[in-house]
Structures are given as C-alpha cells and as structure tokens.
Amino acid sequence: MSAFETIKAAYAAFGRNDPSVLFGAMDPAINWNEAEGNPLADRNPYVGPQAVGDGVFARLLAAIDNFTAVPGTFIDGGDHVVVLGRYGGTMKAGGAELDAPFCHVYRFQDDKIVTFQQYTDTAQWARLME
C-alpha cells in the first residue's frame, strides 16, 4: 500500500473509532509534533507510538467527547502526505464545541510514518483546554 493509501485508510478507520491503522503505520521511532501553541505540544516531540498514544490520544479522549478529525483533502506528495480537514467534539469541561481546521503533514520512510507535524487553530485549542 502506498503512503497516500495508508493515510486515507487510517482516517477512514479513525472515523470508525479504530486508531489501529494509524498506529500500525507508525515507525517505532516516529517523531510526532503537535502545533506550537497547542496545549498538547507541551511534550513535543513525542517519540514512538506509545508516547503518541499516551501523550496525545489519551489526553484528547480524556478532554473531549465525540472527538473527530474529519479529512477534506488529501495531497499525495510521494513520501509526504498532507491532509486538510476539521477537528470537532465537545469539551467535557464546560461543554464548549471544538471546531478547528487542521493540516497534518506525514513523512514516510520504508512504508512507515517517521514524522508527523500538526498545524491548527492553536488559540482555540488553548482557550478550550485551559
């Protein structure tokens, strides 16, 4: 499967609450970076799938009900795949709605994701997660 196909499959599975495709595509030494200014960037870079799971996804699920990352556009750059979309969900503390655009940039090497960089509305994230 190409990098482009892998990422498309990962978002489709994530939409079904199945992160296994994304985690299965990660290199054991993946370097994952949340956007500067995002409260989840406090531990950048996250190195390895376990760090990403514990430091990013577990914290998202603890803070947000019905969290979504809905892709709108996939850009195939060979070893680089860019995904544009929107985050959604309801903050458990206070009930505010998350509705923020995102840009995710993945870099592949040997059929595995070796780097991830997020870009998003960090002011909204900081306001909602304080």
**Residues in CB range of 28: below 8 A, 6 or more apart:** 48, 49
Note the pTM of the prediction, 2 decimals: 0.96
Q: What's the burial of 69, exposed, middle or buried (CB within 10 Å: 0-12/13-18/19+)?
A: buried
Q: Which pLDDT tens digits describe the chain residue by residue (130 residues)?
A: 899 999 999 999 999 999 999 999 999 999 999 999 999 999 999 999 999 999 999 999 999 999 999 999 999 999 999 999 999 999 999 999 999 999 999 999 999 999 999 999 999 999 999 7
Distance CA 9, CA 28 (A): 19
- CATH code that applies to domain 3-129: 3.10.450.50
